[in-house]
A and B are shown apart, each in its own frame.
Chain A
């Protein structure tokens, strides 16, 4: 369960301000977040992941009050609970596909890279149909395949919350649906909460609900 209450956040020296009176995400819920550019969708994800700290209000996630945690504790929370997928994939060009999937294990001492993780990475890659590129370079695969690599990277540590920031923004329509379905499928299988930011109305039908962050009220409830 993620619960935001009376949240106020403002970037230093910026007129932008995000105010969320009350917002909840149930465990295993699949939620789409919509809204025009600059309305605070990415900021919401960064607040939930603990990258940003609200100026006011309460943000409870996985039974942790994120506002009371220090940097190090929020980092541990992010490593252990959050999986991030970005619009620009944010893959590391000097690593091969397999190493990109394993990246969280290279940069976090809290995550132990053992044989079981390596096997899980291979299985994930196979389920995303990119296992044939594991030793290949990032610039040698297509955009859709790159996003699947990024999803594998996010899913590998088995996060409880999957945050996807416009993951289909740079993809063609077929790949958009494929990526959405893959995210939904894996979130369902692992009972992870999926919060996906999107601009594409055609992708909304499979989500439990959609939140318009600009008006900040629920507009669609799928189930």
Chain B
């Protein structure tokens, strides 16, 4: 080992606290703009990729950002629901394939996405284990959900109640896990997919209970009119769909009036897209049709404006750290004047003495760069999760 390196390492190790403090200071000063730039780029890539893969989204008029983010990322936004009637209307135009989404509930905090099988085809989602949705009460879980909750086909997953104190509200449904999706590196990995009808059962629109007839306990009967028997609220409802009780599940009302939170539209061609946009571009309509790409661009403009503030801040921090380093360097030179004098008297050249000081600085910078690189690598691995956790 060269003498300079030996002396440098010995000095830095002897002054551990000073060395660590300086390395961390410099690391933070470098890390701040690097992470910001890296994070924003990844954020932009993520958002744009998902937005580009989602041509049009329809939903009730209100926040365009909420509508776009919930349709793409299943974020828990309080969106007003539209109905299946709208899905049928779009279907009838023949301009696009409508894929309804109902995102109102969660299961073990993962969003429960009620949709049709078209969604899996549209997002090119593949089943890694088990099968696709087969009947009411089935669910297919994203790879991250399966990993986090240790789920496999055949397991059961309970939906979360919206409000545990609301006895008249929706009851949790014990869903049968029939499949696990392949990793898609998208929000689909973090969702639980069910058929729309299953989602409506969770919401209480549909339910199953024991048959109510003349033989039923009188305490459970509200009214008896000839062949028709009306049960009261004391009739226990099934909280799980099984082969035995499947037939008892039914819905009250017309399916056209059942809620969906948004509809993804896949236009057949560009002309159809334009026609659809024109169809909904009217004040009379209660529905808005958005292009997620445009919404994401707007969102990114906002992010970039905020980033400029962060950039200015990072610049100031860097200048401060630079000045701090200079101060430490000058103070160190002053404190170690006798050491330098001794070395000079022992025959050390002035250039070697400077090399020694600069090598110490170099080691601190190198240490900082290593930390920054390591953290950047770690960030690269977890960037998707972090982005989703912070921004969406």
Contact = CB atoms under 8 A, between A and B. Distances in A.
B345 interface: yes
A156 to B, nearest CB: 10
Given A106-B7, A107-B7, A107-B352, A94 B347 contact: no
Contacts of B3: 105-107, 113
A99 B10 contact: yes
B339 interface: yes
A172 to B, nearest CB: 23
Interface in B333-372: 338-339, 341-349, 352, 356
Given A72-B349, A75-B349, A94-B15, A107 B10 contact: no
Contacts of B338: 88, 90
A83 B11 CA distance: 24
A47 to B, nearest CB: 13
Which size class do B's interface residues fall under?
20 to 34
A82 B346 CA distance: 8
Interface string A24-47: 000000000000000000000000
Which size class do A's interface residues fall under?
20 to 34
B333 to A, nearest CB: 16
A7 B352 CA distance: 31
Interface in A45-102: 49, 51, 72, 75-76, 78-79, 82, 84, 86, 88, 90, 92-95, 99
Contact of A103 (B13, B346, B352): B346
Contacts of B6: 99, 106
B345 A84 contact: yes
B346 to A, nearest CB: 5
A95 B7 contact: yes
Nearest to B353: A107
Interface in B313-351: 338-339, 341-349
A101 B368 CA distance: 33
Given A103-B346, A107-B3, A92 B339 contact: yes
B5 to A, nearest CB: 9
A95 B6 CA distance: 9
B382 interface: no
Given A94-B14, A107-B3, A75 B347 contact: yes
7 contacts: A82-B347, A92-B342, A93-B14, A94-B14, A105-B3, A107-B7, A107-B346
Given A75-B347, A94-B11, A95-B7, 14 more contacts: A51-B345, A90-B338, A92-B342, A93-B14, A94-B10, A94-B15, A103-B343, A103-B346, A104-B347, A107-B3, A107-B4, A107-B352, A109-B352, A113-B3
